[in-house]
Structure 1
Amino acid sequence: MKISRRSAFIILTIIGSIGLDQISKVWVRAHVKAGSVSEIFGDYFTLHNVENKGAFLGMGSDLNETLRVVLLLILPVVVLGLVLRYVFKDKSLGNWSLFAFASIIGGGIANVYDRFVYGSVTDFWHIKLTDTLRTGIFNVADVFVSTGMIILVFIALFKKKHKEVKQ
């Protein structure tokens, strides 16, 4: 069976994002003391080792175990599967859209894998520009998911703007 360049691009992006995320988490678990904070670039960019039992910014960590399994394991696997199917079926998607969706899928799979294997997701980076302009603690998978979402927003805005100019 021959794999098309398009399919190879999707698969390599997904595998690459999962691989980079998992390598970074293995390193953090092995070399950064749990609960510690280390400066990378002053207080602006710090390294942590935090286990997040919830989703984004710990949301859902207080849910009972059954609900947490449904919302943080089963539902994401179903959604990621549907998005993966869509990406392989829709031949009209451009390279940027393919990269964005594959990044979201890879990052999502990486975090779901952590929840399944470890019961939590290892987060370790934090950016704080000011007391109000800062991130939560995040990981490489989160960067891939966020980057993919930002690319999709730009594509949607560009297409909408391009359609308005044509009319």
Structure 2
Amino acid sequence: MKIDKLVRAAIIIAIIMLNVGCDQVSKAIVRNHIEAYSSLRFLHDHFMLTRVENTGAFLSLGDQIPGYLHSILLSVIPGVFLIWGIWYLITNTRLSRATVIGICFMVGGGAGNVFDRIIHGSVTDFLYIDFPPFHTGVFNMADLSITTGVIIILIDMAMKKWKERPNTEQTQG
């Protein structure tokens, strides 16, 4: 039905926009209340809010690329993939709910970071976790959305494989 498709598309757009919104609100708070490269430490320094302006991609990869090429590689190409991702979500009705949600999180996170690159010229990262031996690079809510989306999709794939496995009790009987 046409209404079902519209409702599905609206839900997809809403999930994406909620991810973008959480990302942008958190970054605005950080930009307005934490000076660049200063930190607020919590839980015996295991959790830190620190404002870093990242001109590259993940872990600052590509931050030394010259101007126009930098824009193409870190804004235009990801923007095209995000538009394709939205189109794929809306037109591919055979995806599981979990996969749709996972891709929405990934698209929302990617859109938040691309928006930053276009508007601010950099991505504001501000979260750092250090629980030895585990520690992260400095990241943001968009990165968390992308990672959460990947985890949701991987769990969904694993559960599908688990359900498809042969029942050993029936095959041995």
The correspondence of residues 127-166 of structure 1 with structure 2, limited to 5 A, is 127-130=129-132, 132-165=133-166
Q: Deviations over 1:122-144 (max 9, x none)?
A: 000000111x4211101111111
Q: If the length of structure 1 is used for normalisation, what is the TM-score?
A: 0.92
AA paired with 1:129?
A: F
In the alignment, does 2:96 pair up with 1:73?
no
In the alignment, does 2:99 pair up with 1:108?
no
Partner of 2:127: 125
Q: Distance in 2 between matches of 1:20 and 1:35?
A: 22
The correspondence of residues 90-105 of structure 1 with structure 2, limited to 5 A, is 90-105=92-107
Q: Distance in 1 between matches of 2:44 and 2:13?
A: 37
Shift of 1:62: 1.4
Uncovered stretches (5+) of structure 1, i.e. residues with no partner = none
Partner of 1:22: 24
Moved more, 19-28 or 5-14: 5-14
Secondary structure of residue in 1 paired with 2:40: strand
Secondary structure of residue in 2 paired with 1:4: helix
Q: Distance in 1 between matches of 2:98 and 2:39?
A: 36
Q: Distance in 1 between matches of 2:135 and 2:166?
A: 36
The correspondence of residues 22-41 of structure 1 with structure 2, limited to 5 A, is 22-41=24-43
Question: Percent identity at matched positions?
Answer: 36
Q: Distance in 1 between matches of 2:166 and 2:122?
A: 47
Shift of 1:76: 0.3
User: Aligned match of 1:88 in 87, 90, 99?
Assistant: 90
Q: Distance in 1 between matches of 2:142 and 2:24?
A: 8
Uncovered stretches (5+) of structure 2, i.e. residues with no partner = none
Larger Rg: 2
Q: If the length of structure 2 is used for normalisation, what is the TM-score?
A: 0.89
AA paired with 1:97?
A: T
Compute the RMSD of aligned alpha carbons. Answer: 1.7
Q: Deviations over 1:82-138 (max 9, x none)?
A: 1111111111112211111111111111100000011000000000111x4211101
Residue correspondences, number: 166
